[in-house]
Amino acid sequence: MIDLSIIIVSYNVESFISLCLDSIFSSDVECAMEVIIIDNHSQDRSVVLIAERYPDVRIVQNNENRGFAAACNQGAKVARGRLLYFCNPDTMMAEKALQSMYQSYERMLQQGEKIAVGAKMLDGTLQYLPESSRYLPFWRSALSKLFSSAGSGYYRDLSDEALSATEVLTGASLMVDRDEYNAAGGFSEEYFMYGEDIELSKRLVERGVSLYVDSDAELIHFKGESGLQGKGYHRHFYRSLGLYAYRNFFNRSQNVFVKGAFTGVAELFGWTKYVLLSAWRPVLDYMMSLLSFVLVGYLWGHFFHGDSAYFDWRDRVLPLISGFSVLLVLIYFCQGIYVRQKKKVEIGTYLVAPFIILIVYSLLPEEYRFSRVVVLFGLIIPLLGRWLWSIMGSRDDELILYADFDAEDMVSLAKATLTDDISVATGILYHNRTSLSAFIAKYRDQGLPVYVYDVRGDYIFNSATGRTIGSRLDGVSHYRLSDPRFRHQKQLLESFICLLIVLLFPLWGLFQKNKAGIRNIHKVWSKEYSLMGYDSDREKGIKLPYLPPAILPISDLKGTETGDIVDYAMHYSVWRDIKIGSRNFGTLIHQLTKKS
């Protein structure tokens, strides 16, 4: 008989799922357990990796991202254990964590108390995560959380006891009796993700189930890595806030329009917040460029022409410099300058925009070419400012790792320096074949980021906080296709090529019997496929940065050798894809209609 079913919802977590499962199977658990993975249509190699390394794990693959709540309910339906444990794939459990929660449940049950229990969570610097224990939201704390990530009155401190009572357990670590879970209705599938654990906690308490956090059960939660990022996060997080407010603060109204108003306004708020957070850098670049043109024009007119109002700003010059500033921002966007990254951008990258703008200026009719000096120096000032900002804002500092074991080979993966003096270290290296409990106990007071070395994956991963995307360091980290900026350029080019195909051949998709071409173009736009490149799963024995499966794999082209594929990944540029696409356009169109 199965005592414990561990249910993990997976979505694009290739770098984490192995660390999570290794920690589970290394646990000192004295009960029969099973592990169930519900994969929400991941686009990376996580499903392949799980199947290869963990044959005993049950995998349920969805053909779409059904969201966290629905996927958890899927797992609960196929689970055979009397207890369910929901955990995130971006967690690593200390050896005693599962056993401690299991024993706490059994002990309290023997005393006649029905409970659900969660772990004490630590972040990527081994510091306590306040999300481990929360209060049920009320309208003031909900507003606080809406406008601030701190959420005053939202988190609840742990007591000095081994078990600390709480009002809300997080879905990242929740052990509950299966019958109680089902009787409470499971996770509400009205929540795509975020908020469903609050709703479930509330219903469990209403059924007489006490909620506790087990302080002896510790796990590291690399917060934010298993969820959606960017606009997906803002949309679903704030929609969940609106939905919870409607269901719990205004539950007298069953009007679908009132519900839609609550969720719609909250979602609009989240979308607006995302736009503002995403747009401030392009807007700043635009304003800096515009002000630079005006300042240089004013000074040049004053000192060279003897008249600060020498240029016809309103009718001729201002529209031009506004257009140049917009063009500067568009070029930066196409280059991937605004993509979140940890590496600093070379100054040569910033020179492309001024070069293009100067060419455009030279092609204008003579009456619009007001001053080459103003245009040139008006571009140099924001260029230097942007470059200096990139240097100051980059995290390309020297990585100095401390390890209490022989780690020379591992550190070489991260291009880091190994030190035996922890006071000068910028991070601590953890080997996932050693005791995590001992590691936490030894280094929790250091406050340094943890870099985890995955033995079988042969890579190092770090995710210090929930506010930054983790960095994976391995033998292909220096390849261009490992760089988010170059991946952005590739996705932008491929989306543009697909748009051109649709515009130039509007009837092409209509006359296909199976409509595969239209479906595949949509999959390129949604990043399920890449248009040109390679299929990581097909290139056995070659270590390459992950790409979605290619419609036109370059390995299928005549004369392509293994070295060409590696060179493509290492020295990628959009010009390579343009050259491949133009030379093999007929084959590309054929493959679009053929691939399924």
The DSSP annotation for 127-170 comes to PBPGGGSBPPP-HHHHHHHHH-SS-TTTB----SSSEEE-SB--
Stretches where the chain sits below pLDDT 50 are: 150-153, 466-468
Q: Which two tokens stand for residue 421?
A: 């003096």
Rounded CA separation 474/461 (Å) = 9
Rounded CA separation 196/187 (Å) = 6
pLDDT of residue 307: 78
Sequence-separated (6 or more) residues with CB below 8 Å from residue 305: none
- How big is the chain by its Cα radius of gyration, in Å? 27
Q: What is the largest CA-CA distance in the chain?
A: 93
Positive or negative: CA dihedral 246, 252, 256, 257: negative
Which residue intervals of 196-255 are DSSP H helices?
196-206, 231-249
pLDDT of residue 5: 94
pLDDT of residue 394: 53
pLDDT of residue 234: 63
pLDDT of residue 468: 47
Evaluate whether 68 touches 192 at the Cβ level (below 8 Å). Answer: yes
What angle in degrees, to the nearest 10, is found between the helix axes of 372-393 and 347-362?
A: 160
Q: How many helices (H) and strands (E) does the chain have?
A: 19, 17
pLDDT of residue 260: 67
Rounded CA separation 51/58 (Å) = 9
Evaluate whether 567 touches 587 at the Cβ level (below 8 Å). Answer: no
Evaluate whether 171 touches 151 at the Cβ level (below 8 Å). Answer: no
pLDDT of residue 176: 94
Quickly count: other Cβ atoms within 10 Å of residue 324's Cβ. 21
Positive or negative: CA dihedral 524, 526, 528, 533: positive
pLDDT of residue 278: 75
Residue 72: Cβ-neighbour burial (10 angstroms; 0-12, 13-18, 19+)? buried
pLDDT of residue 507: 66
